[in-house]
Amino acid sequence: MELLKISSLYKTFKKHRVVAVDDVSFTIFKGEVLGLVGESGCGKTTLTKLILRLIDADKGSIFYKDKDLLKISHSDMRKTRKSLQIIFQDPYASLDPRMRIGKTIEEVYDIHKNVPEHERRNKTIELLETVGLGETYLNRLPSELSGGERQRAGIARALATDPEFIICDEPVSSLDISIQAQILNLLIDLQKRKNLTYLFISHDLGVIGSICDRVMVMQSGRFVEFGTCDTIFKNPQQEYTKSLLRSTF
């Protein structure tokens, strides 16, 4: 089943005369993990902002099920965002340093009105346990957590709306190698248990290969190669893809 279908998407930043997303089209199927790989500045982050409608596209379409997200109202988009969530690259920057972890997650319920007030504490504890933390983390500040623990808290916050689709925006790139493996294993486990669909973004093909079903290679706002991980890794067609593989392995 097609979950997200993007067609002929364009975004230009006219002030800097940069075409950040240039005629991008792809489909994500329900329950799959689709990888997006490319160097910094290739357009990956701009594409995620377009999907979540945090910035406006110049033209194109983004269908989530039967809705074109570029044409629905802002209030409808707010409701739809319950199903579309994001895990950020830097877990410390994405968490309010003054807000305790429990309150950070409960803030999501305030915004989306999806959990009754009397159930919020138990729901938050359940989420923290799901990501390998627990009740003792409710009253901790982000500064009291390790990098891996902060990312687990960020994942718990993304799960607070019971989403169907999650953008994982380089979620392990700021973590130590040993912690990267733990977070990747957690994401794989959650994807299987909750039948989640991921758009998994990275500059590291090694990470992409460990979690993704298919992969898109992006360069200067365009997709230059697209296929299964096995095909891309064993028989890359573009020199750019070959250079990314050489830098990884």
Structural domain contains residue 120: yes
Structural domain contains residue 240: no
Per-residue pLDDT, 154: 95
For 147, the domain range is 98-162
DSSP 71-107: TS-HHHHHHHTTTEEEE-S-TTTTS-TTS-HHHHHHH
Structural domain contains residue 150: yes
Note whether 43 and 220 are within 8 A (CB).
Answer: yes
CB hemisphere CA count around 167 (13 angstroms):
21
* Integer CA distances (angstroms), 36 to 40, 125, 201, 214, 246, in order: 12, 32, 5, 9, 17
Q: Into how many domains does the chain fold?
A: 1
Contacts of 187 (CB under 8 A, 6+ apart): 155, 168, 171, 198, 211
Structural domain contains residue 141: yes
pTM of the model: 0.93
Per-residue pLDDT, 249: 66
d(CA 65, CA 2): 7
Structural domain contains residue 32: no
pLDDT tens for each residue of the chain, 249 residues long = 999 999 999 999 987 788 999 999 999 999 999 999 998 889 999 999 999 999 999 999 999 998 999 999 999 998 999 999 999 988 788 899 999 999 999 999 998 888 999 999 999 999 999 999 999 999 999 999 999 999 999 999 999 999 999 999 999 988 888 899 999 999 999 999 999 999 999 988 889 999 999 999 999 999 999 999 999 999 999 999 999 898 876
Structural domain contains residue 249: no
Structural domain contains residue 53: no
